[in-house]
A and B are shown apart, each in its own frame.
Chain A
């Protein structure tokens, strides 16, 4: 029993790592289930049981976290940033961003604080990711 859970966890972590790394790619459930070597039917349920949220929501938070970074640290347009982080349309991007961050992208850009430069980026990424 325990070993099965460990094996399943490790597969789900491998998928979450893939989302962290390839968030800008069009990652759908079939693609993610293939990385985990499990059936599509099991994948979403298992991921949610492991990490407490659906893979879709995790990927949204990952993309929004990168968008927040680009809004803060660059002068690129909101539309550019939308496609850069993997959203398919500016309307979906704005709606998802607002829903997760509580503010639209342009307002966030005006108000956001800048991150500390000396802290390892992996920690900054994980801790500045918006909550579910």
Chain B
């Protein structure tokens, strides 16, 4: 049966801004940035882990109607699409300080949880992102 998760997808409003944020600010790396003609296939991954990619997809026609794309964009900006990414980090507080200095909007400061030290933020579009320093 299945052997791995290779791709996950989230919606973004704009792929250039998404690159600025996910690569420029969060420090992920571009896995694939390909103009397929009908769409721009843009994936990123955690440095050193190309086996798991995140597709940064822009909702729009012809994959979905203008009407649906507008609804998806509106849901996204009010935090309602359900797109959610959780990363692990070796130092939650340090990563928090680094990203805060880069102007990231945090929804949760580093907090001790039963499973480790955990932190929450939003991407510029409304997606929910977290990172955790797991308990050893």
Contact = CB atoms under 8 A, between A and B. Distances in A.
Contacts of B73: 2, 6
B70 A2 contact: yes
A78 B118 CA distance: 27
Interface stretch (A12-20, A24-32, A58-66, A83-91): A12-20
Given A5-B77, A21-B106, 12 more contacts: A2-B74, A9-B74, A10-B125, A13-B77, A13-B79, A13-B122, A13-B126, A17-B105, A51-B78, A120-B115, A121-B113, A122-B108
A118 B114 CA distance: 7
Interface in A89-132: 117-118, 120-122
A122 B131 CA distance: 11
Nearest to A20: B107
A54 interface: no
A19 B73 CA distance: 23
Contacts of A13: 77-79, 122, 126
B13 to A, nearest CB: 7
Interface string A27-70: 00000000000000000000000110000000000000000000
Contact of B114 (A16, A17, A117): A117
Contacts of A2: 70, 73-74
A9 B113 CA distance: 30
Nearest to A123: B84
A14 to B, nearest CB: 7
Contacts of B126: 9-10, 13
A21 B121 CA distance: 11
Given A17-B107, A121-B111, A122-B108, A9 B130 contact: no
A120 to B, nearest CB: 7
